[in-house]
Amino acid sequence: MTEKKKEEKVYRQLESNKLLQQIMFQYMLEGHQASEENRLAWVTSGFPVEIPVAMGVGVSYPEQYGAVVGSQKVGPEVCGYAEEIGYSQELCSYARASIGSVEKPDQSPMDGLPTPQALLAGNNICGTVLRWYDAVSEQTGAPVFLFDTPPITDGQPDHHKEYVRNGLDRLVDFLGTTFNTTLTDERMHEVADLSSKALELWNKSLTACKTSPTPLNCADRFLAMAPVVSMRGTELIIDFYETLLDEVEMRVKEGLGAIRDEKIRLLWDNIPPWHSIFRFFNGLAKRGVAFPADTYTHAWSGKLKIEGEGDDLFDSVVSIYSNVYLNKGLEAKIDKMCELIDDYNLDGFVMFSVRSCKRYSLGQLVSKEIVSERTGVPGVVIEGDMVDSRVYNEAQIQTRVDALLEMFM
Amino acid sequence: MSYEGVLEQSGLGLQELVKAGEEIIGYIYPHAPLELILAHGLTPSLMRAIPGVSSGFEESLQTFACSYIRNLYNQRTNDQLPQITGLLFPSNTCDSLQNLTDIWKIRFPDDRIYRLTYPVTRYADDDSTRIYLTKELEILSKMIESTLNRPFMMDNYERAVSIIREFRHDAQFLYSARVVDPEVLSYTELSRLVRSFLTAPLVSVASEIHRVSSLVKEKMKSKGLLNIINSIMSGFQEKDFSKVKPFKRSPGPRILAVGGMVEPQAIATIINGINGVSDSIIVSDLLSFGFKSVFAPPLDKNGEPFEEMAKSILAAPGEPTQEGLQYRMRSLKDLVKALHIDGLLICEQSFCDPDQFEAPSIEKVASEAGIRTVRIPIDPELSDRARIEVKIQTFLESAGYT
Residues 6 or more apart whose Cβ sits within 8 Å of residue A390? A75, A76, A89
Beta carbons of B96 and A358 less than 8 Å apart: yes
For B347-359, how does the pLDDT look when each residue is reduced to its tens digit (9 = 90+)? 999 999 999 999 9
Best mutation target among A103, A174, A366 (most B Cβ atoms within 10 Å) is: A366
- Give mean pLDDT, residues A337-365: 97
pLDDT in tens, A72-93: 999 999 999 999 999 999 999 9
Q: What domains appear along chain A, each with residue ranges and CATH number?
A: 27-179 (3.40.50.11890)
Pairing verdict, β B86-91 and B113-117: parallel
Residue B332: which residues within 8 A CB-CB, separation 6 or more?
Answer: B258, B286, B362, B365
Cβ atoms of B206 and B228 within 8 Å: the answer is: no
pLDDT at A317 over 70: yes
The answer to whether residue A300 scores a pLDDT higher than 80 is: no
User: Which positions ≥6 away from B347 have C-beta within 8 Å?
Assistant: B257, B258, B259, B260, B262, B267, B287, B355, B376, B378
Distance CA B377, CA B350 (A): 7
| H or E segment and range at residue B385 | helix B385-398
A389-402 pLDDT, tens digit per residue, is 999 999 999 999 99
Question: Using CA atoms, how far apart are residues B63 and A355, in angstroms rounded to an integer?
Answer: 9
Closest CA–CA distance from residue A95 to any residue of chain B (Å): 10
Structure confidence by residue, pLDDT tens digits, B19-43: 888 999 999 999 999 999 999 999 9
Q: Are B198 and B46 in contact (CB under 8 A)?
A: yes
Q: Closest Cα partner for A142 from A29, A62, A49?
A: A62
pLDDT in tens, A142-162: 999 999 999 998 889 999 999
Q: Which among A135, A151, A364 has the least Cβ separation from residue B98?
A: A151
Q: Output the DSSP codes for B207-257.
A: HHHHHHHHHHHHHHHHTT-HHHHHHHHHHHHHT--TTPPP-PPPSS--EEE
In a 3-state reduction of DSSP, which class is residue A384?
Answer: strand
Average pLDDT over residues A326-348: 96
- The Cα–Cα gap between B9 and B7 comes to 5
CB A53 within 8 A of CB A191: yes
Q: Which of B128, B135, B355, B358 to mutate to test the interface with A (most CBs of A within 10 A)?
A: B128
pLDDT band at B6 (very low <50, low <70, confident <90, very high): low
pLDDT at residue A104 greater than cutoff 80? yes
The percentage of residues in chain A with a pLDDT greater than 90, rounded to a whole number, is 91
pLDDT band at residue A308 using 50, 70 and 90 as cut-offs? low
* ipTM of model over 0.90: yes
Residue A4 has pLDDT above 60, yes or no: no
* pLDDT tops 70 at residue A309: no
DSSP string, B301-313: TTS-HHHHHHHHH
Statement: residue B341 has pLDDT above 70: yes
Residue A331 CB neighbour total at 10 angstroms: 16
Taking contacts as CB-CB distances below 8 angstroms, the residues of chain B near A134 are 320, 324-326, 357
**B243 φ/ψ angles, rounded to the nearest 5 degrees:** -105, 15
- In a mutational test of the A interface, the residue from B114, B120, B319 whose CB has the highest number of chain A CBs within 10 Å is B120
B210-251 confidence digits (pLDDT tens): 999 999 999 999 999 999 999 999 999 999 999 999 999 998
**Predicted confidence (pLDDT) at residue A6 exceeds the cutoff of 60:** no
- CA distance linking residue B59 with residue B61, whole number of Å: 6
Per-residue pLDDT for A350 more than 80?
Answer: yes
In the predicted model, what is the mean pLDDT of residues A133-139?
97
Give the closest residue to A51 by CA, choosing from A140, A158, A147.
A147
CA A368 from chain center: how many Å?
22
Ranking A349-353, B46-50, B204-208 by mean pLDDT, the lowest is B46-50
Query: Binning pLDDT at 50, 70 and 90, where does residue B104 land?
Result: very high
Q: Report the pLDDT value the prediction gives residue B1, as an integer from 0 to 100.
A: 61
- Tell me the pLDDT of chain A averaged across its residues: 94
Going by the DSSP 8-state scheme, the letter that residue B290 receives in this structure is T
Q: What is the CA radius of gyration of chain A?
A: 21
Q: What is the pLDDT of residue A1?
A: 46
The domain defined by B3-155 carries CATH number 3.60.20.10 = no
**CA–CA separation, B70 and B360 (whole Å):** 25
Nearest residue to B353 via CA among B261, B265, B287, B263: B261
Using a CB-CB distance cutoff of 8 angstroms, which residues of chain B are in contact with residue A330?
Answer: 99, 102-103, 106
Residue B258 sits at φ, ψ, to 5 deg, of: -120, 155
The DSSP line for B61-110 is --TTS-HHHHHHHHHHHTT-S---SEEEEEESS-HHHHHHHHHHHHH-TT
Rounded average pLDDT over A102-109? 98
Model confidence at A213: pLDDT above 90: yes
Residue B62 scores a pLDDT above 50: yes
Q: Are A118 and A146 contacting, i.e. CB atoms less than 8 angstroms apart?
A: no
> Which position has the higher pLDDT, A312 or A172?
A172
Calculate mean pLDDT across residues A351-358.
96
Query: DSSP characters for B339-371?
Result: TT--EEEEEEETT-HHHHHHHHHHHHHHHHHT-
Phi, psi of B388 (to 5 degrees): -65, -40
Alpha-carbon span A27 to A33, nearest angstrom? 10
Helices then strands, counting H and E runs in chain A, come out as 18, 8
Q: CB pairs below 8 Å between A and B: how many?
A: 146
* Tens digit of each residue's pLDDT (9 = 90 or more) over B275-328: 889 999 999 999 999 999 999 999 999 999 999 999 999 999 888 888 889 999
